[in-house]
Chains A and B, each alone.
Chain A
């Protein structure tokens, strides 16, 4: 009986796991946190297997649970008191590592992706999430209304502002690559 239940659970969830992991990564920007979210999601949904079987469009439903778990994770993070203490040193941690010995095309693509990720990291969280879920992961606005529990009009204007902000940030990133003196400009 338990084996059947496990098999049924896996047959429902496995087709969505990769996409959900990507979604979790877009929320957290961290592989470790994304894995934690997926693990928590599976534990929570296993207990609701009967309900899962009745849900017509499972992925957006699972993404909504994932988003709630992400909000829980943020609340836990805000309570963390871990800090590191320093001593002065002239050595530096380079902020940017460019791949070396790559064909020009790959290097160019890496540059573009690096600029993109740097710009994304500078977006506020609401903008980053709606932009990546819609434009990267392909969720529709009507799906995002359910996942993020936010009205359509608010989501649309947030998404449009996020795109506009991204374009501004990308211009700065491109300037930074062309002129490294422009550093860490907000």
Chain B
């Protein structure tokens, strides 16, 4: 067997479609050939790593809810996958995307955003990008106390967007529907690089009209 055949045989081996005779040839060859042995090890290690590739678990009750909702002919949405212009228009969602004009506050603890019950306010989310990020996945997970205006039943929103170098501002109109405290989580995912931002939400009888921007984040 020649080295130039080894690559094909290694792929056939990984495809589980190699003939026994070819497998014997391949193994005999890599015993003798250091380069092909390295290539074989790299290929099988990659396959092993791919088998162990992690994935994010769905929400705890996701499968139960999704199965139940299927019979009612309507999906149970933890997330909203894509916000198309038509959908935005039809559901009345208003994402005001404007130039950044508010300062970013800083500090050791997460920001807190206060809302009165049934109050609708704009949350300004600021994303700083060191470089332009094409097709960044932006996801919002909402606490049970608030919903995005126009999406009263959705606890999550997610869409792809273009982040440009510097500050990116998203103005998110939210409504307080329930008393209590919760955390709004915003995630950016770009080419496998992820960043998570958290913002404490506090719904009570008092309205706080101060402007709050995003400051806290974790890996």
Contacts and interface: CB of A to CB of B under 8 A. Distances in A.
Interface of A: 2, 5-6, 9-10, 13-14, 17-18, 21-22, 25-26, 29-36, 38-40, 42-43, 45-47, 73, 76-77, 79-89, 91-99, 112-114, 116-118, 120-122, 131-132, 134-136, 138, 140-141, 156, 159-160, 163, 166-167, 170, 184
Which of A42, A79, A121 has most chain B Cβ within 10 Å?
A42
Contacts of B189: 29-30
Contact of A39 (B66, B84, B88, B167): B66
Contacts of B164: 84-86
B26 to A, nearest CB: 15
A177 B195 CA distance: 18
A140 B189 CA distance: 30
Interface in B122-143: 127-131, 133, 137, 139
Given A14-B63, A84-B170, A141-B15, A39 B77 contact: yes
Contact of B83 (A17, A18, A33, A82): A82
Given A40-B75, A87-B99, A118-B191, A80 B167 contact: no
A65 to B, nearest CB: 13
A132 B139 contact: no
A60 to B, nearest CB: 16
A45 B70 CA distance: 8
Contact of B67 (A29, A42, A83): A42
A37 B169 CA distance: 29
B165 interface: yes
Interface stretch (B29-37, B39-47, B107-115): B39-47
26 contacts: A2-B71, A5-B71, A9-B71, A29-B192, A33-B79, A33-B81, A35-B62, A38-B63, A39-B70, A42-B70, A73-B82, A80-B85, A82-B97, A86-B167, A91-B167, A94-B195, A97-B219, A113-B53, A116-B49, A118-B191, A121-B191, A136-B50, A138-B51, A159-B11, A163-B43, A167-B46
A94 B82 contact: no
Given A82-B97, A85-B168, 5 more contacts: A17-B66, A83-B97, A113-B52, A118-B191, A118-B192
B46 A170 contact: yes
A2 B161 CA distance: 42
Which of B54, B58, B104 has most chain A Cβ within 10 Å?
B58
Interface in B171-198: 188-195
8 tightest CB-CB pairs across the interface, nearest first?
A: A32-B79, A92-B130, A39-B75, A97-B219, A32-B158, A42-B70, A117-B192, A87-B100
A186 B62 CA distance: 37
Interface in B72-103: 73-86, 88, 95, 97-101
A80 B159 contact: yes
Q: Is the interface of B mostly helix, strand, loop or mixed?
A: mixed
Given A43-B69, A93-B195, A36 B49 contact: no
Q: Is the interface of A mostly helix, strand, loop or mixed?
A: helix
B168 A80 contact: no
Given A32-B78, A73-B81, A84 B70 contact: no
Contacts of B80: 32, 36
B56 A25 contact: yes
A36 B78 CA distance: 8
Given A83-B97, A141-B17, A76 B82 contact: yes
A35 B219 contact: no
B14 interface: yes
B21 to A, nearest CB: 19
A170 to B, nearest CB: 7
Given A86-B166, A120-B192, A131-B50, A46 B43 contact: no
Contact of B79 (A31, A45, A136): A31
